[in-house]
A = this chain, B = another copy of it.
Amino acid sequence: MKIITIGREFGSGGRELGKRLADILNCEYYDREIITAISESQGLNEEFVESVLENGAYHNFPITYSHSFGAVTIMQHPHTSVFIEQRKVIEKIAQQGKDCVIVGRNADIILKNYKPFNIFVCAEEKWKVKRCIERASADEQLSEKQIIKNMRRIDKNRAMLRSFITDSKWGDPKAYDLTVNSSGWEIKKLCPIIAEFIKYSLDNKTAE
């Protein structure tokens, strides 16, 4: 069984990469299903769950903190239950034993015992802005300034959420098998060679 996790900077095309990799590698892709499972088990609205997960560290920030007791980090957060449930859902996915791709959600850390293949996708800001403008629908056109502001806020939040559960820094290439700069790439064209890299790695990497 192989699990592929994809961390990504906002606007780098990581989600599209994940979907396309799942297609090429013929494995499950988990994204919206995770939100649905959390909202069902917690009796919460899906949009609310999504908002907590994406903006978690910023909602009610003054009462967000992490505290360490020896090796155990306990996250105190007004919506801690949402994050705990997310972890359970991700663990359940892995337990099913199917090959799968999971984008974001610190799945690389949560599932580290399964030795996933971990990818991080980054890009220069101008390329991320370009991608955001291209994929925006007619009713969500933002100025470049607003896009950059959102992008930085979301990525800062992702880095902060990661810091609650691990010492490994969000985006630090030593925490991933492969870090790809998607600047200048069409994700559709980038995918096949990443899929090749993953397959090659599974067959040829000497040790974990």
Chain A residues within CB distance 8 Å of chain B: 120, 122-124, 171, 173-174, 176-181, 183-186, 189-190, 192-193, 196-197, 200-201, 204-208
Contact between A120 and B206 (Cβ–Cβ < 8 Å)? Answer: no
Q: What are some 26 contacts across the A-B interface (CB < 8 A)?
A: A122-B174, A123-B174, A173-B173, A173-B179, A173-B181, A174-B181, A176-B181, A177-B181, A178-B178, A178-B179, A178-B180, A178-B181, A179-B179, A179-B181, A184-B206, A184-B207, A184-B208, A185-B206, A189-B204, A190-B204, A192-B200, A193-B197, A193-B201, A193-B204, A196-B200, A197-B197
Number of copies: 2
Classify the interface of chain A: helix, strand, loop or mixed: mixed
Q: In the complex, which residues of chain B have a beta carbon less than 8 angstroms from the beta carbon of A208?
A: 184
Which of A173, A181, A186, A196 has the most chain B CB atoms inside 10 A of its CB? A173
**Separation in Å of the A24 CB from the closest CB of chain B?**
14
User: 8 smallest A-B Cβ distances: which pairs?
Assistant: A179-B179, A193-B200, A184-B207, A173-B179, A189-B204, A186-B206, A122-B173, A122-B174
**Separation in Å of the A178 CB from the closest CB of chain B?**
6
